[in-house]
């Protein structure tokens, strides 16, 4: 279920299969493969990076993004808020909330911003990309075959909190992200895997080298 994914850094991914190329939060790209669809979760520069977007966009590229980002983009743009369902470029997706609930993080990703994660159907499976979030109560109701969850702490859930969300969602596979670069360390992935047991955890290797010990 992860064979078609490339992890660049932080929460930046490419899915490529059957002649279709989808990016989520492209940043630190090590490829120029043209994008059919680009999903953006929120406005922070490690998730919304215009220079990287320009490398992969074409006249036909379609965008899905929260309203504040959608206003900055040109072309075929679909703005979303939590709860919206979209069908773009043959891809179906649902936007879900992404915000902080931890008292020390409330100003990092306020609920009022209407930033999002996505449940995206790609091929035969569903994939939840959480964006930057804590374990907000309604996220326990997310259902997907694969869950990409931030574990780095400081701005999002740390490994133990993310493990709790993984158990609530109960995907077939949980994948840690948002660690080893701006915040968190590669060792956090091992902690996440241990605390998420019995959920199966698979880690991907980023195309950029980790920047944190």
pLDDT for 3-34, tens place per residue?
999 999 999 999 999 999 999 999 999 999 99
CATH number at residue 113: 3.60.15.10
Edge to edge, the sheet with strand 12-17 lists 5-9, 12-17, 20-24, 37-39, 62-66, 76-80
Q: State residue 213's pLDDT score.
A: 87
Domain range for 153 is: 5-196
The answer to whether residue 80 is domain-embedded is yes
User: Is residue 202 included in any domain, yes or no?
Assistant: no
Does 9 reside within a domain? yes
pLDDT digits (tens, 9 = 90+) for 113-123: 999 999 999 99
Whether 208 is in a domain gets the answer: no
Residue 49 counted as domain residue: yes
Mean pLDDT of the chain: 97
Give pTM, 2 decimals. Answer: 0.98
Could you give the number of structural domains in the chain? 1
Q: What is the pLDDT of residue 34?
A: 98
pLDDT tens per residue across all 213 residues of the chain: 999 999 999 999 999 999 999 999 999 999 999 999 999 999 999 999 999 999 999 999 999 999 999 999 999 999 999 999 999 999 999 999 999 999 999 999 999 999 999 999 999 999 999 999 999 999 999 999 999 999 999 999 999 999 999 999 999 999 999 999 999 999 999 999 999 999 999 999 999 999 998
3-state secondary structure the chain: CCCCEEEEECCEEEEEECCEEEEECCCCCCCCCCCCEEECCCCCCCCCCHHHHHHHCCCCCEEEEEHHHHCCCCCEEEEECCCCEEEECCEEEEEEECCCCCHHHCCCCCHHHCCEEEEEEECCEEEEECCCCCCCHHHHHCCCCEEEEECECCCCCEHHHHHHHHHHHCCCEEEEECCCCCCCCCHHHHHHHHHHCCCCECCCCCCCCCCCC
Whether 211 is covered by a domain: the verdict is no
The alpha carbon of residue 39 and the mean position of all alpha carbons in its chain are separated, in whole angstroms, by 9
Residue at 90 is within a domain: yes
Kindly state whether residue 109 falls inside one of the protein's structural domains. yes
């Amino acid at each position: 279920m992860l064979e078609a994914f490339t992890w660049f850094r932080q929460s930046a991914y490419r899915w490529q299969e059957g002649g279709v190329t989808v990016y989520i939060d492209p940043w630190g790209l090590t490829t120029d493969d043209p994008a059919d669809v680009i999903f953006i979760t929120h406005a922070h520069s490690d998730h919304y990076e215009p220079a990287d977007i320009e490398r992969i966009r074409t006249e036909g590229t379609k965008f899905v993004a929260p309203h504040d980002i959608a206003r900055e983009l040109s072309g075929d743009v679909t703005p979303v808020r939590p709860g919206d369902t979209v069908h773009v470029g043959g891809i179906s997706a649902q936007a879900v909330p992404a915000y902080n609930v931890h008292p020390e993080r409330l100003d990092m990703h306020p609920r009022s911003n209407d930033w999002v994660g996505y449940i995206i159907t790609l091929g035969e499976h569903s994939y939840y990309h959480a964006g930057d979030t804590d374990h907000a109560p309604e996220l326990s109701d997310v259902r997907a075959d694969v869950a990409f969850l931030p574990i780095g702490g400081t701005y999002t859930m740390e490994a133990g909190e993310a493990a709790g969300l993984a158990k609530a969602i109960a995907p077939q596979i949980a994948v840690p992200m948002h660690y080893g670069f701006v915040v968190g360390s590669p060792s956090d992935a091992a902690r996440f895997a241990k605390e998420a047991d019995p959920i199966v955890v698979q880690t991907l290797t980023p195309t950029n080298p980790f920047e944190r010990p």
